[in-house]
Amino acid sequence: MITLHHCPQTRSMRTLWLLHELDVPFQVNVHPFDKSLRAPEFLSLSPAGRVPALEIDGERMFETGAITEYLCDRFSSDGLGRSPGSPDRMAWLVWVHFAETVSQHAAALTQQHIVLHDDAMRSPTVMKLEAARLGKCYDAIEARLSTPVENRDYLLTSGFSAADISVGQAVYMAQHFRDFDDHPELARWFARITDRTGFQASLPEPAARLYDRDFYPAREG
């Protein structure tokens, strides 16, 4: 049995979406997004006290990129994954791991807007800088999706994959802080992939959401 340790609207949503798309048996242990992730019991699963943590066949994994590679290699090497001999293997790896570049900026903004409750602790400069960095990430995705090849509906020429899941979930978090107004191809791609049943199944109930607003604008200094 596969057990995913998950906090709603965090990076572990990436693994939850992937598991739904893989259509393999799994169970989910939902944790609050609080100091309980620093408890010894959880640190034995994820030494940095972060989600996701994955239990599979008596082993434990953490880090979304590693989990994505392992699950795809094992269950869908040329479906959601791309095997080493695939022409798209290099691009698949690049975009699976680019998701973490997007996520680090979204995480910094989540901390500024949500985790820090005292306005005196928040930095308008950091908010603006991180939102601008998300814009650069959007530029990279827009450029990829604008490449003039046939059937460019997804990040890979060969079609939908875990690369779209990984980057798509990161953009799902990022959209709370940076809109898509100047990135029409990204907006169309995001609408396409989030219409999938696997994405919809990974969404939390309203009461469990980390973000209580659709958008958090950068504050003026």
pLDDT digits (tens, 9 = 90+) for 29-41: 999 999 999 999 9
Q: Please tell me whether residues 204 and 95 are part of one structural domain.
A: yes
**In the predicted model, what is the mean pLDDT of residues 125-148?**
95
Are 203 and 164 spatial neighbours (Cβ–Cβ below 8 Å)? no
Q: Pull the structure tokens for residue 87.
A: 């022409």
pLDDT digits (tens, 9 = 90+) for 8-21: 999 999 999 999 99
Q: Please tell me whether residues 35 and 127 are part of one structural domain.
A: no
Answer whether residue 221 is part of any domain: no
Count of domains forming the chain: 2
Please identify, among 24, 44, 75, the residue that sits at the C-terminal boundary of a domain.
75
Answer whether residue 133 is part of any domain: yes
Alpha-helix residue ranges (DSSP H) falling in the chain:
12-22, 40-43, 64-75, 89-110, 124-145, 162-174, 184-193, 197-202
**Residue 151: pLDDT over 80:** no
Q: Please tell me whether residues 16 and 64 are part of one structural domain.
A: yes
Q: What is the CATH number of the domain that holds 9?
A: 3.40.30.10
**In the predicted model, what is the mean pLDDT of residues 115-126?**
87
Collapse the DSSP code of 62 into the 3-class scheme (helix H, G, I; strand E, B; otherwise coil) and give the result.
strand
Q: Pull the structure tokens for residue 150.
A: 């046939």
Torsion over CA: 23, 25, 27, 33 (sign): negative
Residue among 149, 150, 193, 153 at smallest CA distance from 171: 193
Q: Please tell me whether residues 107 and 63 are part of one structural domain.
A: no
Q: Please tell me whether residues 99 and 179 are part of one structural domain.
A: yes
What is the model's pTM?
0.95
**In the predicted model, what is the mean pLDDT of residues 120-133?**
94
Determine the structural domain holding residue 59 and report its residue range: 2-75
Q: Please tell me whether residues 142 and 174 are part of one structural domain.
A: yes
Are 80 and 72 spatial neighbours (Cβ–Cβ below 8 Å)? yes
Buried b / exposed e across 166-192, counting CB within 10 Å, b at 16+?
bbbbbbbbbbbbbbbeebebbbebbee
| Residue found under tokens 């309980």 | 36
Q: Please tell me whether residues 122 and 204 are part of one structural domain.
A: yes
Question: Which residue type sits at 3?
Answer: T
